Amino acid sequence: MGKLTVLSGIRPTGYLHLGNYFGAVRSFVKMQNDYNCFFFIADIHSLTTHPTPEDLQSGVKQVLAEYLACGIDPEAATIFIQSDVPEVAELYTFLNMNAYLGELERTTSFKEKARKQPENVNAGLLTYPVLMAADIIIHKANFVPVGKDQEQNLEMARKFAKRFNRMYKKEVFPIPRPFTFDGGDMIKVPGLDGSGKMGKSEGNAINLYDTPKEIRKKVMRAVTDSGPTEMDQEKPEAIQNLFTLLKIVSTHDTVEHFDTLYNKCEIRYGDLKKQLAEDIIAYTSPIRGKIIDILEDEAYLAKVAKMGAEKARESASETLKEVKAVIGLKRLF
Ligand code: ADP
Ligand code: TRP
Lowest mean pLDDT among 48-62, 155-169, 182-196, 245-259: 182-196
Q: How far apart are CA 87 and CA 134, in angstroms?
A: 9
- Residue 285, classified by CB atoms within 10 Å of its CB into exposed (0-12), middle (13-18) or buried (19+), is middle
Instruction: Decide: helix, strand or coil at residue 36.
Output: strand
Of ligand 2's listed atoms, the one at least distance from the Cα of 147 is 15
What is the mean predicted confidence (pLDDT) over 239-262? Answer: 96
Active site residues: 113, 197, 200
Q: Closest residue (by CA) to atom 14 of ligand 2?
A: 8
Mean pLDDT of 231-260: 95
Q: How far is ligand 2, taken at its centre, from the CA of residue 154, in Å?
A: 9
Q: Report whether pLDDT(200) > 90.
A: no
pLDDT > 70: percent of the chain: 100
| Domain extents in the chain | 5-186+298-327, 212-292
Q: Which residues contact 138 (CB under 8 A, 6 or more apart)?
A: 85, 87, 88, 91, 315, 316, 319, 320
Is the CB of 8 inside a 6 Å radius of any atom of ligand 2? yes
Centre a 10 Å sphere on the Cβ of residue 35 and count the other Cβ atoms it contains.
Answer: 21
* Chain segment 104-133, per-residue pLDDT in tens: 999 999 999 999 999 999 999 999 999 999
User: Is residue 151's pLDDT more than 90?
Assistant: yes
Residue 218 and residue 254 in contact, taking contact as beta carbons nearer than 8 Å: no
pLDDT for 184 equals 78
Q: Which phi and psi (to 5°) does residue 53 adopt?
A: -55, -40
Q: Cα of 187 to ligand 1 centre, how many Å?
A: 10
Q: Quick one: pLDDT at residue 256?
A: 97
Q: Counting atoms of ligand 1 from 1, which one is nearest the CA of 42?
A: 7
Report pTM.
Answer: 0.95
Q: Report the nearest-CA residue for atom 11 of ligand 2.
A: 9
Ligand whose nearest atom lies closest to the CA of 7: 2
Is the Cβ atom of 46 under 6 angstroms away from ligand 1? no
Looking at the predicted structure, is the pLDDT value of residue 1 above 70? Answer: no
- Mean pLDDT over 13-27 rounds to 94
Residue 182 pLDDT > 80, yes or no?
no
Contact 243, 200 (CB under 8 A): no
Give the pLDDT mean for 182-210. Answer: 88
Q: Give the range among 57-66, 161-170, 189-198, 309-318 with minimum mean pLDDT.
A: 189-198
Q: Does any ligand 1 atom lie closer than 6 A to the CB of residue 60?
A: no
The rounded distance, in Å, linking the Cα atoms of 103 and 122 is 16
Say whether 212-292 and 5-186+298-327 share the same fold. no
pLDDT in tens, 282-329: 999 999 999 999 999 999 999 999 999 999 999 999 999 999 999 999
Q: How far is CA 17 from the centre of its chain?
A: 10
59-68, 100-109, 200-209: the lowest-pLDDT one:
200-209
Quick one: average pLDDT of 252-262?
Answer: 97
Q: Give me the residues paired with residue 36 across strands.
A: 5
Q: Given ligand 1 and candidates 149, 193, 245, which is best to mutate, with the most ligand atoms within 8 Å of its CB?
A: 149
What's the distance, CA 192 to chain centroid? 19
CB 15 within 8 A of CB 66: yes
What distance in angstroms lies between residue 133's CA and the mean position of ligand 2's atoms?
A: 9
Q: Which atom of ligand 2 is nearest to the CA of 149?
A: 15
The pLDDT > 90 percentage for the chain reads 92
- Which stretch of DSSP H or E encloses residue 9? strand 5-10
| Three-state SS at 100 | coil
The protein residue whose alpha carbon is closest to atom 8 in ligand 2 is 9
Contact 6, 142 (CB under 8 A): yes
Q: Which atom of ligand 2 is nearest to the CA of 45?
A: 7
Superfamily (CATH) of domain 5-186+298-327: HUPs (3.40.50.620)
> Considering every ligand atom, which ligand is closest to the CA of 63?
1
pLDDT 10s digits, 264-287: 999 999 999 999 999 999 999 999
Provide the residue count of the chain.
333
Residue 50 CA, distance from chain mean position: 20
Gap from CA of 188 to ligand 1 centroid (Å): 8
- For the 212-292 domain, the top CATH level (class) is mainly alpha
Ligand 1 site, residue 144, Cβ cutoff 6 A = no
Give the three-class secondary structure for 207.
strand
- For ligand 1, the distance from its centroid to the CA atom of residue 230, given in whole angstroms, is 35
Question: Is the shortest distance between the CB of 149 and ligand 2 below 6 Å?
Answer: no
**pLDDT(140) > 70:** yes
Residue nearest atom 21 in ligand 1 by C-alpha distance = 19
